[in-house]
Amino acid sequence: MILIDGKNISSKVKDEVKNEAINLANLGIKPGLAVILVGDDKASLTYVNSKEKACKMCEIYSVKKTLPASTTEDELLNLIDELNKDDKIHGILVQLPLPKHIDENKIIEKIDPKKDVDGFHPINVGKLSIALDGFVSCTPAGVIRLLKEYEIDISGKNAVVIGRSNIVGKPMANLLLKENATVTITHSKTKNLDFYTKNADIIVVAIGIPNFLKADMVKDGAIVIDVGINRLDDGRLVGDADFENLKEKASFITPVPGGVGPMTIAMLLNNTIISTKNFLKEKK
């Protein structure tokens, strides 16, 4: 079994990002990312702070907008409008989930697709589905990067994605399809999940249920990518895959923590670099 080291690969991506950011700054355009947080959700605050810290480390200008939970939809739309027009900002991210009185879809659609470094805007989602260049959701983009770094050939493989969220499952399936895998998307209503997973060369599990994918659900030599992040009552962080038993059977596996998790922020910074380069091209 080979352990896929996401910590190591994410450091490599961040080093590349830093070099690119310095080069771009020398060309007169310092990459800038704005992160908006509405409300005081603890987990969201931790994510936003780590994004800000990563920006600093990688020479990316970062703006953190922290708004109270009482912020109205219009106030948030206006802030996005300002950031859309701000030349110093090349990426805009609204930390989800938003308070219930705000329509997430409306907010996502307000972000200029050219600055949508999270890849959630319908324009970017649509581009991915017809294999055009656009921003790709960071976690699934990170998974593809991990597979490539480990020289895992995706083409022609049977890939099974467990979970169909807009943030992970669906873009993951589209990316694997783009890499010429034969893709099956499974979800909470799938019957006989084992039937699909036992035939899979690559399994990506993203459902949010601790240790859900068991060793008897996969074939020998399967590649297991665990996107799940679950905090157990005893404080331990575990994935959606039963790592201890699967590691005997899988050919490659990602640990939790230290697998897919660290890739998400690295790919967000990478998307900010891509966006800045696009703006530079437009300026010329």
CB of 19 to ligand NAD, least distance (A): 24
- 178 catalytically annotated: no
Amino acid occupying residue 261: G
39 among annotated binding-site residues: no
164 among annotated binding-site residues: yes
- 65 catalytically annotated: no
Is 140 near ligand NAD (CB under 6 A)? no
Amino acid occupying residue 262: P
- Out of 158, 230, 245, 278, the only residue in the binding site for ligand NAD (CB under 6 A) is 230
Q: Which is nearer to ligand NAD, 31 or 163 (CB)?
A: 163
CB of 100 to ligand NAD, least distance (A): 16
230-231 and 237-238 strand pairing = antiparallel
Is 62 near ligand NAD (CB under 6 A)? no
Residues 179-208 that bind ligand NAD (CB under 6 A): 186-188, 190, 193, 206-208
Closest to 136 in 3D by CA, of 109, 172, 108, 112: 172
17-44 burial, b for 16+ CB within 10 Å, e for fewer? bbebbeebeeeebbbbbbbbbbbebeeb
With H, G, I as helix, E, B as strand and everything else as coil, classify residue 32.
strand
247-284 burial, b for 16+ CB within 10 Å, e for fewer? eebbebbbbbebbbbbbbbbbbbbbbbbbbbebeeeee
- From residue 65 to residue 84, what is the string marking binding to ligand NAD with x (rule CB under 6 A)? --------------------
Contact 167, 139 (CB under 8 A): yes
| Contacts of residue 155, Cβ cutoff 8 Å, sequence gap at least 6 | 179, 180, 181
DSSP lists the bridge partners of residue 225 as: 204
Catalytic residue among 14, 65, 95, 240: 95
- Which range, of 17-25, 51-59, 115-123, 223-231, touches ligand NAD by CB under 6 A? 223-231
Give the pair of three-digit tokens for residue 152: 């895992």
* 219 vs 197: CA distance, rounded Å: 8
Residues 152-171 that bind ligand NAD (CB under 6 A): 162-165, 167-169
Is 31 near ligand NAD (CB under 6 A)? no
165 among annotated binding-site residues: yes
Catalytic residue among 65, 110, 118, 127: 118
- 51 catalytically annotated: yes
Is 143 near ligand NAD (CB under 6 A)? no
202-205 and 252-253 strand pairing = unpaired
Is the Cα dihedral 32, 38, 39, 42 positive or negative? negative
CB of 74 to ligand NAD, least distance (A): 27
Is 6 near ligand NAD (CB under 6 A)? no
Binding site for ligand NAD (CB under 6 A): 139, 162-165, 167-169, 186-188, 190, 193, 206-209, 227-230, 260-261, 264
Kindly list the catalytic residues.
51, 95, 118
Q: Which residues does the annotation place in the binding site for NADP(+)?
A: 163-165, 229
